[in-house]
Amino acid sequence: MTKSAQLFQQARRTIPGGVNSPVRAFAGVGGDPVFMERADGAYIFDADGKAYIDYVGSWGPMILGHNHASIREAVVDAAQRGLSFGAPTESETTLSELVAELVPSMEMVRMVNSGTEATMSAIRLARGYSKRDKFIKFEGNYHGHGDCLLVKAGSGALTLGEPNSPGVPADFAKHTLTCTYNDLDSVRQTFETYPDEVACIIVEPVSGNMNCVPPQPGFLQGLRALCDEFGALLIFDEVMTGFRVALGGAQAYYDVKPDLTTLGKIVGGGMPVGAFGGRRDVMEYLAPTGPVYQAGTLAGNPVAMAAGFACLSELRQPGNHDYLNSVTKQLADGFKALADKHGIPLATNRAGAMFGFFFTDQDTVTCFKDVQQCDTERFKRFFHLMLEQGIYLAPSAFEACFTCLAHGQKEIDATLAAADHAFATLA
Ligand code: PLP
């Protein structure tokens, strides 16, 4: 038995399913999860010492590559001054100012501990500010595990076949209105059915939780216009896309300004951080300046703030996003060319430093229904063929792949060579 298998067996005795986040359990691909021990640059090493080229990147935060010296040093330095104070510190302002500079629609910022907290709080704020209860989300989008957001959700909920989780009372979900991604007509119809009742739209501006599905031209602009017409706030959930699709996030890439933005993952550089922010008049509606309550014992934790600041300071260096774009393009185009060579129908999508591939006859994949038509059994076999060859892809057909600055030509070539072999085996 491998050490990884032993660790999994042991973990299952005290941790449900042996994991602290369901999609890690390989439920989407079958087999036992691989227990990891350390990571460096583009590589992650399992408990038995096997190295993998990593395209999960801790589900997004590790955009500089693992174990980056500047983040590590910033964390050690901050930790030496104390782990948590529960009182304001300069590092919270420093990171908030940097976020506001890089994402100018975020005039004010509130730090939290996860993406889930960011989206939950942003929706509460939008509801409180607008004095309306309903909100619109999109089928296959995932915004964390807040009750009202676990309705037709993507990511692990979708992978496990539970897009509507038991335990969410129907009363809590009844104000959640679900529309079709990339379908503005479905959004207009919903607004027209509930005029004056919709507080906000929350959307992944590039959907990364039903694999990778970018917005069609005009979709995000259309959402902006509909929100303005019906007096609703537009929330971009950039927990995944923030600083990844472009330095200024998807809102910079597609040039659409939301009222509120939610962040997570990269903003913490690998530490548990989320953030939400946006229009000053809306953010000032939050306690203590306004009536909408939101709080956190460890929010703005100084060690986490230091990690986030170091990460964003490195990432903003000129040329980094051009490089990430070129790595992503090489991988997505490479997968497509190799699948064609072996006669395997494949579609690919990409945006900035994220990409997805779909085993499907369809030329394009633009919404949840398209994603559902893909061959998930073929994905599972492909995943395991890649894993055997030391390539760690997200263990679900419903997750995007992430590139990082540590992916060099050597890693790209090795990944494509492994894909060549995997496609040949599947053909
Ligand atoms: N929003 C999006 C778009 C996400 O991808 C995720 C997590 O993957 C979340 C929110 C929830 O973030 P967290 O897992 O940090 O709670």
Q: DSSP string spanning 318-372?
A: TTHHHHHHHHHHHHHHHHHHHHHHTT---EEEEETTEEEEE-SS-S---SHHHHH
> What pLDDT, in 10s, does the model give residues 287-301?
999 999 999 999 999
Ligand 1 centroid to residue 121 C-alpha, Å = 13
The answer, yes or no, to whether residue 158 has pLDDT greater than 90, is: no
151 pLDDT tier (thresholds 50, 70, 90) = confident
**Mean pLDDT across the stretch 398-421?**
98
Ligand 1 centroid to residue 279 C-alpha, Å = 22
Is 411 close to ligand 1, i.e. is its CB under 6 Å away?
no
The answer, yes or no, to whether residue 242 has pLDDT greater than 80, is: yes
Ligand 1 centroid to residue 141 C-alpha, Å = 10
> What pLDDT, in 10s, does the model give residues 349-388?
999 999 999 999 999 999 999 999 999 999 999 999 999 9
**Mean pLDDT across the stretch 53-78?**
98
Residue of the CA atom closest to atom 11 of ligand 1 = 144
Residue of the CA atom closest to atom 12 of ligand 1 = 115
129 pLDDT tier (thresholds 50, 70, 90) = very high
The answer, yes or no, to whether residue 160 has pLDDT greater than 90, is: no
- The residue whose CB lies within 8 Å of the most ligand 1 atoms, and thus the one to mutate among 62, 142, 251, 266, is 142
Report the atom number in ligand 1 closest to the C-alpha of 144. Answer: 11
Report the atom number in ligand 1 closest to the C-alpha of 155. Answer: 8
DSSP conformation letters of 78-145: HHTT-S--SS--HHHHHHHHHHHHHSTT-SEEEEESSHHHHHHHHHHHHHHHHT--EEEEETT----S
The answer, yes or no, to whether residue 120 has pLDDT greater than 80, is: yes
pLDDT at 262: 98
Long-range contacts of the stretch 97-103 (C-beta < 8 A, 24+): 98/309, 98/312, 98/313, 99/263, 99/267, 99/275, 99/277, 99/312, 100/277, 102/243, 102/247, 102/248, 102/312, 102/316, 103/238, 103/242, 103/248, 103/249, 103/251, 103/252, 103/261, 103/263, 103/277
**What value does the mean pLDDT of the chain take?**
96
3-state helix, strand, coil in the chain (%, to 5): 40, 15, 40
Mean pLDDT lowest among 42-46, 122-126, 167-171, 249-253 = 167-171
Is 175 close to ligand 1, i.e. is its CB under 6 Å away?
no
152 pLDDT tier (thresholds 50, 70, 90) = confident
Is 115 close to ligand 1, i.e. is its CB under 6 Å away?
yes
Angstrom distances, CA of residue 151 to CA of 53, 136, 142, 214, 216 = 34, 11, 9, 21, 23
The model's pTM: 0.97
Report the atom number in ligand 1 closest to the C-alpha of 204. Answer: 3
Ligand 1 centroid to residue 25 C-alpha, Å = 17
What values do phi and psi take at 213, rounded to 5?
A: -130, 100
Ligand 1 centroid to residue 264 C-alpha, Å = 7
**Mean pLDDT across the stretch 128-141?**
97
Angstrom distances, CA of residue 160 to CA of 163, 165, 374 = 8, 10, 16
Is 56 close to ligand 1, i.e. is its CB under 6 Å away?
no
**Mean pLDDT across the stretch 297-323?**
98
93 pLDDT tier (thresholds 50, 70, 90) = very high
Largest CA distance in the chain: 61
Is 143 close to ligand 1, i.e. is its CB under 6 Å away?
yes
Is 210 close to ligand 1, i.e. is its CB under 6 Å away?
no
The answer, yes or no, to whether residue 162 has pLDDT greater than 90, is: no
Ligand 1 centroid to residue 327 C-alpha, Å = 24
What is the DSSP-derived secondary structure letter of residue 188? H
In the chain, % of residues over pLDDT 70:
100
**Mean pLDDT across the stretch 249-273?**
98
H/E stretch holding 300 reads none
Report the atom number in ligand 1 closest to the C-alpha of 115. Answer: 12
Q: Which of 142, 54, 204, 104 is nearest to 398 (CA)?
A: 142
CB 148 within 8 A of CB 176: yes
- The residue whose CB lies within 8 Å of the most ligand 1 atoms, and thus the one to mutate among 120, 209, 402, is 209
CB 278 within 8 A of CB 260: yes
Is 142 close to ligand 1, i.e. is its CB under 6 Å away?
yes
The answer, yes or no, to whether residue 230 has pLDDT greater than 80, is: yes
pLDDT at 159: 75
pLDDT at 301: 98
**Mean pLDDT across the stretch 3-26?**
96
Is 209 close to ligand 1, i.e. is its CB under 6 Å away?
yes
Report the atom number in ligand 1 closest to the C-alpha of 60. Answer: 8
Is 237 close to ligand 1, i.e. is its CB under 6 Å away?
yes
pLDDT at 259: 99
Ligand 1 centroid to residue 60 C-alpha, Å = 10
Q: Which residues pair with 45 in a beta bridge?
A: 38, 51
The residues annotated as belonging to the active site are 142, 237, 265
286 pLDDT tier (thresholds 50, 70, 90) = very high
pLDDT at 352: 97
CB 11 within 8 A of CB 47: no
Is 238 close to ligand 1, i.e. is its CB under 6 Å away?
no
pLDDT at 113: 98
Ligand 1 centroid to residue 313 C-alpha, Å = 22
pLDDT at 161: 72
Question: What are the tokens at 207?
Answer: 């959907």
Ligand 1 centroid to residue 204 C-alpha, Å = 10
Is 399 close to ligand 1, i.e. is its CB under 6 Å away?
no
Report the atom number in ligand 1 closest to the C-alpha of 119. Answer: 10
pLDDT at 166: 87
